[in-house]
């Protein structure tokens, strides 16, 4: 790494996926770049952590490695395929496809009350499933696939268009719309009970048409080479360093002030912390904080799941009369969520087994709890998760060794996202521009989210504003 300096061509705030990609890309073209990250490790919402592993007597016997967020890498592509976002990203960041050791999912499914709709990385499989499970929607769904293929999802303008209204206009039933949207909302909507149409198209392609995969070794397999690239490209990376303030002169960005009072001067700032959070760094709060946050439960078992018991990769479930993708009135909504078995790939690094469950949560409840109430709600979440495991894996008799639960409060603690949001604000800045000249929003609130989306956002914003000089 280069020696710390105080003047840079560009400063990137946040070393999540978008910040990492943005800093690497700018560094590749000889820009003097600083990447400032509040936390001690990179990855942001898709980071990693470890916990001490103990035996039954409580003796330390090693460590367990966890991914914070990785259920699956979306946008699967085979080596050498044309026009695939994942391959474009790897090319732009000069990463080798083989270095990720990507494995395809077996299959995933939507469990919508009594209905089961399976999908793989082949859209034809889903078309056949729709014809079987929702026979009257089959032809319409084929047309929807064409509609998605022909839709221009590259527009940098943002005006919310309701996907639900569009799907109703196309004649789909409410039940089918909710079933189809269940995975897409869970994997990327910052809007309650709906999603912007362009975002829907992006997610439909990345989840249903390209599909899910997992790098062997989890998210570290992706993050470690990115950190190497920062070094190769002389990016000045500062962990455990928070930006306190973005400084501007005559409405043009001129630097940032760090928490310890150090001022770093720069011509450009790329902020990945979120739109309302960026506004706070400008001492001006305007944009709406999103309403959607989650609890995530990680269950570690003595061994991997028997595939006879359950061989799916991800199950998006809804057991309510209608699918309520909204901030619940209670602290946690157990009626719907995501059930992920990361063991169900061909090769998995750990001997132990894992199940991950995501439920929708209410930030205000979790944030206001006393210590006692907080722990009691976590216990409740753990029990509800175990009930779900019994329901979806009835013959699973493995011993449970360890549970880790993180809450909306944990998300805010480690990523500084207001309201514990994962998909950011309902307002997106697709062109990355802000009211302050040379201050750009990247990542989730630019409107590209998930691992692949955020990487793409960082690359695109660096290419447009750092390397080409503007739109
Ligand atoms: C539980 C969970 C499961 C998920 N599962 C998946 C999945 O399976 N597949 C998938 O593709 N996506 C998944 N996601 C979503 C994905 O992780 C995010 O969309 C993506 O990582 C967002 O990246 P980002 O760069 O936009 O923002 P972030 O990751 O939020 O990065 C922002 C960074 O800025 C830092 N920061 C904040 N304030 C400051 C400051 N003042 N100074 C310096 N640094 C600061 C934060 O610490 C953070 O590191 C999941 C997320 C969660 C939480």
| Domain of residue 203, CATH code | 1.10.405
- Whether residue 204 lies inside any domain: the answer is yes
**Are residues 228 and 326 part of one domain?**
no
**Are residues 228 and 137 part of one domain?**
no
**Are residues 202 and 254 part of one domain?**
no
**Are residues 336 and 257 part of one domain?**
no
- Whether residue 70 lies inside any domain: the answer is no
Kindly report, residue by residue over 370-404, the tens digit of the pLDDT.
Answer: 999 999 999 999 999 999 999 999 999 999 999 99
With a threshold of 0.85, does the pTM exceed it? yes
- What is the enclosing helix (H) or strand (E) of 224? helix 220-232
**Are residues 395 and 302 part of one domain?**
yes
For the segment 45-49, the average pLDDT, to the nearest whole number, is 96
Instruction: Return the CATH number at 271.
Output: 3.50.50.60
Last residue of a domain, one of 183, 209, 235: 209
Residue 382: CB atoms within 10 A of its CB come to 17
CB 244 within 8 A of CB 237: no
Query: For residues 222 and 43, what is the distance between their CA atoms, to the nearest angstrom?
Result: 10
Residue 65: CB atoms within 10 A of its CB come to 15
Closest Cα to atom 49, ligand 1: which residue? 44
- Whether residue 103 lies inside any domain: the answer is no
Kindly report, residue by residue over 306-363, the tens digit of the pLDDT.
Answer: 999 999 999 999 999 999 999 999 999 999 999 999 999 988 888 899 999 999 999 9
CB 226 within 8 A of CB 100: no
**Are residues 228 and 163 part of one domain?**
no
Q: Is the pLDDT of residue 69 over 70?
A: yes
Q: Output the CA 437–ligand 1 centroid distance in Å.
A: 25
**Are residues 189 and 147 part of one domain?**
yes
pLDDT at 287 (0 to 100): 83
Q: Output the CA 455–ligand 1 centroid distance in Å.
A: 11
**Are residues 283 and 177 part of one domain?**
no
Q: Output the CA 36–ligand 1 centroid distance in Å.
A: 14
Closest Cα to atom 19, ligand 1: which residue? 450
Which residues span the domain enclosing 312? 291-415
- Whether residue 111 lies inside any domain: the answer is no
Q: Output the CA 374–ligand 1 centroid distance in Å.
A: 24
**Are residues 437 and 403 part of one domain?**
no
Pairing mode, strands 236-238 and 243-249: unpaired
Ligand 1 site residues, Cβ closer than 6 angstroms: 13-19, 36-39, 44-46, 69-72, 74, 242-243, 272-273, 294, 296, 415-417, 422, 443-444, 449-451, 454
Name the domain count of the chain. 3
Nearest to 199 by CA among 210, 213, 187: 187
Query: For residues 429 and 426, what is the distance between their CA atoms, to the nearest angstrom?
Result: 10
Closest Cα to atom 51, ligand 1: which residue? 69
**Are residues 404 and 303 part of one domain?**
yes
């Amino acid at each position: 790494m280069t020696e710390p300096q105080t003047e840079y061509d560009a400063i990137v705030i946040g070393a999540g996926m978008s910040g990492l990609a943005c800093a690497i890309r700018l560094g590749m073209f000889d820009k003097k770049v600083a990447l400032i990250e509040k936390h001690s490790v990179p990855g942001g919402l898709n980071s990693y952590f470890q916990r001490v592993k103990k035996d039954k007597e409580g003796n330390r016997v090693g460590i367990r490695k966890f991914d914070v967020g990785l259920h699956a890498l979306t946008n699967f592509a085979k080596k050498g395929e044309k026009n695939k976002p994942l391959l474009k990203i790897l090319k732009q960041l000069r990463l080798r496809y083989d270095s990720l050791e990507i494995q395809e999912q077996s299959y995933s499914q939507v469990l919508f009350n009594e209905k089961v709709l399976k999908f793989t990385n082949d859209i034809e499989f889903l078309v056949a499933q729709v014809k079987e499970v929702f026979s009257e929607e089959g032809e319409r769904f084929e047309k929807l696939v064409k509609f998605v293929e022909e839709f221009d999802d590259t527009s940098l303008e943002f005006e919310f268009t309701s996907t639900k209204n569009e799907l109703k206009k196309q004649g789909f039933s409410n039940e089918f719309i909710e079933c189809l949207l269940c995975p897409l909302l869970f994997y990327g909507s910052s809007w309650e009970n709906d999603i912007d149409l362009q975002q829907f198209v992006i997610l439909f392609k990345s989840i249903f048409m390209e599909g899910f995969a997992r790098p062997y070794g989890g998210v570290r397999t992706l993050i470690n080479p990115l950190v190497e690239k920062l070094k190769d490209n002389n990016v000045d990376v500062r962990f455990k360093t928070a930006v306190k303030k973005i400084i501007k002169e005559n409405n043009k960005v001129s630097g940032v002030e760090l928490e310890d009072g150090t001022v770093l001067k720069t011509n450009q700032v790329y902020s990945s912390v979120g739109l309302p959070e960026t506004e706070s760094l400008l001492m001006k709060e305007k944009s709406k904080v999103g309403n959607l946050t989650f609890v995530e439960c990680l269950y570690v078992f003595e061994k991997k799941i028997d595939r006879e018991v359950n061989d799916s990769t991800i199950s998006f479930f809804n057991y309510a009369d209608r699918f309520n993708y909204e901030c619940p009135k209670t602290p946690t909504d157990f009626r719907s969520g995501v059930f992920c078995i990361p063991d169900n790939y061909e090769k998995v690094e750990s001997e132990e087994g894992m199940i991950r469950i995501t439920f929708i949560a209410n930030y205000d409840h979790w944030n206001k709890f006393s210590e006692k109430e907080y722990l009691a709600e976590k216990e409740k979440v753990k029990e509800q998760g175990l009930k779900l495991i019994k329901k979806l894996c009835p013959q699973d008799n493995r011993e449970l060794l360890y549970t880790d639960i993180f809450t909306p409060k944990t998300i805010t603690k480690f990523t500084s996202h207001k309201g514990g949001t994962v998909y950011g604000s309902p307002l997106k800045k697709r062109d990355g521009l802000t009211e302050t000249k040379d201050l750009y929003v990247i990542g989730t609130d630019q409107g590209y989210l998930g691992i692949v989306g955020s990487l793409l956002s960082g690359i695109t914003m660096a290419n447009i504003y750092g390397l080409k000089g503007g739109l």
